[in-house]
Amino acid sequence: MASPRSILLSSLLLASSATAQDFGSSGRSEEAFSYIQPENTTILTQYGSSPAVYPSPNITSDGTWASALVKAKDFLSLLTLEEKAYMVTGAPGPCVGNIYPIPRLNFSGLCLQDGPLSIRVADYASVFEAGVTAASSWDRKLLYERAYAMGEEFKGKGAQVALAPVAGPLGRSAYGGRNWEGFAADPYLTGVAMEESIKGFQDAGVQATAKHYIANEQETMRNPEYNDNATLTDVLYEAVSANLDDRTMHELYLWPFANAVRANVASVMCSYQRLNGSYACQNSKALNGLLKEELGFQGYVMSDWGGTHSGVAAIEAGLDMDMPGGIGMYGLYPEAGSFFGGNVTTAVNNGTLDVSRLDDMILRIMTPYYALNQDVDFPSVDESGADLNTFSPRSTWLRDWNFTGEYGRDVRGDHGSIIRRHAAEATILLKNVNNALPLKAPKIIAVFGNDAGDDTQGFLNQVDFEYGTLSAGGGSGTGRLTYLSTPLNAINNRASQDGALVQYWLNNTLIESSEMPALWNPKTPEVCLVFLKTWAEEGADREHLSTDWNGDDVVESVASYCNNTVVITHSSGINTLPWADHENVTAIVAAHYPGQESGNSIVEVLYGDVNPSGRLPYTIAFNGTDYNAPPTTGINSTGVEDWQTWFDEKLEIDYRYFDANNISVRYEFGFGLSYTTFAISDIQAEALVDDITATPEAQATVPGGNPALWESIYNVTVSLNNTGDVCGATVPQLYVTFPDSAPAGTPPYQLRGFEKVTLEAGECQTVSFELMRRDISYWDIISQEWVIPQGDFTISVGHSSRDFEQVTTITPIAA
């Protein structure tokens, strides 16, 4: 094995502009570490440091991908060294990321496209509900169905690789600019969502990419700053370093990626920022150690766009594909070269890089390709995407592309109806008094807010315009709408069935002005529907947790003269809703980013065609300042390495923090109302295995890690009853409280089970939750193992993280 030092030096020889930190340190003083390092442990467990883990593990697939690996080996055996170099290096072309075709081997290349809610650079594609919306459904089937439908669209457009789904950011900070692209501020729920999404994409024949790995929790300073942006040289500041300890890594941030690997995800995208001092795309502990060794990942690691900061150092640390590669960030930075490409050929030729590592990179790239049968009848890239691709326009291409097949294919199918159903089922009812909802065919309706109507400045890519309803956030995670059902249109359509009068005011400044009451005509409406929006986008963190465009003042104003004010939010996530207790605000509905069927889906909920069953995937506190772990937004010094963010809160993010510190919140994690009511009774817990051991049996690693961690060891059942008058769905949730013998810092309650269940009025059903070994273990930093602590666990099942109806105890390991 090459020593880390020699790797470092050789990479510097290869690419002199590389900032090759393959084993990083955040530079924090020893005293600041959260615990004393025991003598017999290695640096592995230290907070804020990243030990070297080499060499990069080879693909070992002998399970589901065995026959694909054989094909990949045959393919590899036919490649020249130059072809190998370009198999691992992106190039300008029709897609957001491209691997060149090799016609002599019948390899059509790889087309990589964003993103998590749509195939973004495409015409005639659907804009699905955002990740945060889908997660609000707490519905495994919905999550699978969404990804499968998206996968069909990626495939139809000729994209082998979908740059989705997102588990980083997880939602450490309420202010994170990209939280909405991911799922929930909880590793368990996000883990389930990752697994279902990956299965959905890959069952549709498209490679999924679990991104952004790892601890990518803020947008501010996610990339380095340069004195010369044209050539990406002369670093002013390195990107922010996310510094966290080993336990937090395992129990929060790595957790959902473990689910992703277990679901056989084809690819993992490493993130932009530094991790414990070393760039995430060249952090050998994260890539070689955690991902490939501990979790047994068999696919390939691709860089985020421009996230590669060295050649051989990154390759040895576990990076398998440089994106977008080619000529750097293409049109953006035309003079910046790739650290891969020709440099890889040189490194192999001069002995700096062993060709066996390059071969493994290619096997990792091609095995999922064959496993998903992408060599057989995969549609060609739709040329219309090339014409829409502003990232690498044709002028930047180095080769011609051979396009075949129809131009501008319509891949939407009947997905509009799926999106409409999903968005309705994911809508969260937060408040409902005086039977305000569902609406009972009101005859006079007033609609307020700049979020209610048509987008007045186009909607090919969502931007934060003043006028128009918000169906998605911004950046690479957005979508290109082909149509948009707005709330106002959908309300008009529905109200016309009742012969109702609909009046509307879309100018927030007017609505909050004193002129407004005089504009009523002919008399007070039966219901005032206020639509508010909150923008978030890639590249920026949120500055506040209020709704945008003076939304809070708009509500206060309408509620001051309308005693049946119903507020609907279209938001990236957390809003603090300071008017929630106003007596005239009779209902509050959080619809997040619902996608193209926004209006139709919200009308179904408002009128009761769909009984809302969404649950919060995060906590709504009373004030923005109640949240811990804000993004690091500034530093007071000028050192190149000085952007550091310390995950000092450790496991205490979102509800774990509020619970541990007994802080009252407005609406807790897991909360959501229905038009009916549910009761939970008769909890039973049964061990599924005899003689449970504290640590898992040592077994050969499979994708996801030690299979013993995924073994179900308890079954908990409850009886669930719809005690109301109408059919509805609900989500019983199971939270685990660890015994006192668990290490300090263990959160009081942790989600470890949930199930979406639909029941007719009066219907009763038994619901089971299987607890896996990982669910009741903590990560022991000393033994580097998942451990079940001794003593009694409390198992609580209820309607949210703070509304438990049934409690029992289990004692897997007697004290």
Residues of this chain that interact with ligand BGC (CB under 6 A) are: 96, 114-115, 163, 211, 304-305, 476
Question: By C-beta, is 163 or 265 nearer to ligand BGC?
Answer: 163
The sign of the torsion formed by the CA atoms of 333, 335, 339, 342 equals: positive
Given 304, 360, 541, 654, which residue is catalytic?
304
Separation between Cα atoms, residue 361 and residue 357, nearest integer Å: 6
4 and 288 Cβ atoms separated by less than 8 Å: no
Least distance to ligand BGC, CB of residue 392, Å: 11
Least distance to ligand BGC, CB of residue 753, Å: 30
Strands 750-754 and 793-800: unpaired
Least distance to ligand BGC, CB of residue 283, Å: 17
CA-closest candidate to residue 438, choices 616, 589, 615: 589
3-state secondary structure of 667: strand
Least distance to ligand BGC, CB of residue 693, Å: 41
Least distance to ligand BGC, CB of residue 286, Å: 17
Separation between Cα atoms, residue 102 and residue 124, nearest integer Å: 29
Question: By C-beta, is 302 or 709 nearer to ligand BGC?
Answer: 302
Separation between Cα atoms, residue 776 and residue 796, nearest integer Å: 13
Question: By C-beta, is 396 or 476 nearer to ligand BGC?
Answer: 476
Least distance to ligand BGC, CB of residue 354, Å: 30
Separation between Cα atoms, residue 412 and residue 578, nearest integer Å: 40
Contacts for 799 with CB less than 8 Å, ≥ 6 apart: 670, 671, 678, 680, 730, 731, 732, 733, 805
713 and 772 Cβ atoms separated by less than 8 Å: yes
Chain centre to alpha carbon of residue 778: 23
CA-closest candidate to residue 777, choices 388, 421, 340, 250: 250
Least distance to ligand BGC, CB of residue 477, Å: 7
Question: By C-beta, is 272 or 535 nearer to ligand BGC?
Answer: 272
Separation between Cα atoms, residue 671 and residue 626, nearest integer Å: 18
CA-closest candidate to residue 674, choices 612, 752, 622: 612
Question: By C-beta, is 96 or 566 nearer to ligand BGC?
Answer: 96
Question: By C-beta, is 223 or 352 nearer to ligand BGC?
Answer: 223
Least distance to ligand BGC, CB of residue 609, Å: 35
Separation between Cα atoms, residue 135 and residue 751, nearest integer Å: 14
Separation between Cα atoms, residue 629 and residue 654, nearest integer Å: 9
C-alpha distances (whole Å) from 85 to each of 313, 392, 743 are 16, 20, 47
Question: By C-beta, is 134 or 302 nearer to ligand BGC?
Answer: 302
Q: Closest CB to ligand BGC belongs to which residue?
A: 476
**C-beta neighbour count of 346 within 10 angstroms:** 16
Least distance to ligand BGC, CB of residue 288, Å: 22
3-state secondary structure of 293: helix
Phi and psi at residue 273, to the nearest 5°: -75, 170
Is residue 304 among the annotated active site residues?
Answer: yes
C-alpha distances (whole Å) from 55 to each of 5, 299, 352 are 13, 16, 14
Give catalytic residue positions.
304
